[in-house]
Structure 1
Amino acid sequence: MKPAEAALAAAKIIGSQAEMARLLDVKPPTVSQWCSGERPIPAARAVQIETLTQGQIKRESLCPGFPWASAAA
């Protein structure tokens, strides 16, 4: 799953892109850009989105370029 697809799936689970923006305290266009693949999802936001989706969408799917394995160590 590409990051944009993961972001779209997360927004659907949360309720909407607008709701995801509200819960993350970011502007709706930011979430829209994540969902379109226009803008990368920051690692910190990926962790928050994973929490908001109760682990249904994994941080690794949202931000695959981040070294998650070494960050957990």
Structure 2
Amino acid sequence: MTPSQALARAVAIAGGQSATARICNKSQSAVWKWLQSERSLPAEHVLAMEAATGVHRHLLRPDIYPISLGTGADAPGADSAPVMPTEPASVVCDQPGKAQRAKVAA
């Protein structure tokens, strides 16, 4: 689903362009322009639309909310691996540390 398709879906769930305009505190004509130009939903309205319609933020703006950063069990891709490891990886260095150099020099 493209972001413009997700926006159209969110508008339909919200109850139309006027209802979407009220959610976003914009005019109905602004919503109409978003739909006609197939533009993405402006970033400042993504979270309000997600809360009002249940259309996930990743679907509305994947450029801002990549699927790998989704949170919660209901997020798309929630079963995917986390972006950052939960435990720090061990650091491997091929140069001796200060303490090791002191032992070698002695």
| TM-score normalised by structure 2 residue count | 0.55
| CA deviation after TM superposition for structure 1 residue 34, in Å | 2.2
> Which is higher, the Rg of structure 1 or of structure 2?
2
Equivalent residue, structure 1, for 2:33: 33
Runs of at least 5 residues in structure 1 that lack an aligned partner in the other structure: none
Which of 62, 65, 71 is matched with 2:60 structurally? 62
Task: Number of aligned residue pairs: give it.
Answer: 68
Query: How far apart in 2 are the matches of 1:50 and 1:41?
Result: 11
Q: In angstroms, what is the RMSD of aligned CA positions?
A: 2.1
The equivalent residue for 1:46 is 46
For residue 67 of structure 1, report the CA deviation from its aligned partner.
Answer: 4.4
Q: Counterparts of 2:58 and 2:4 in 1: how far apart (Å)?
A: 12
Once the two structures are superposed, residues 25-64 of structure 1 have per-residue CA deviations (whole angstroms, 9 ceiling, x without a partner) of: 1111221222231x331223111100001x2x11111111
Letter in 2 for 1:60: H
Q: Sequence identity, in percent?
A: 30
Match of 2:2 in 1: 2
Structure 2: stretches of 5+ with no match in the other structure: 70-106
Q: Distance in 2 between matches of 1:67 and 1:60?
A: 5
Q: Residues 43 and 59 of structure 1 are in contact (CA less than 8 Å); yes or no, is this contact kept in structure 2?
A: no
Q: Separation in 2 of the partners of 1:49 and 1:23?
A: 7
Runs of 4 or more, structure 1, over 3 Å off, are none
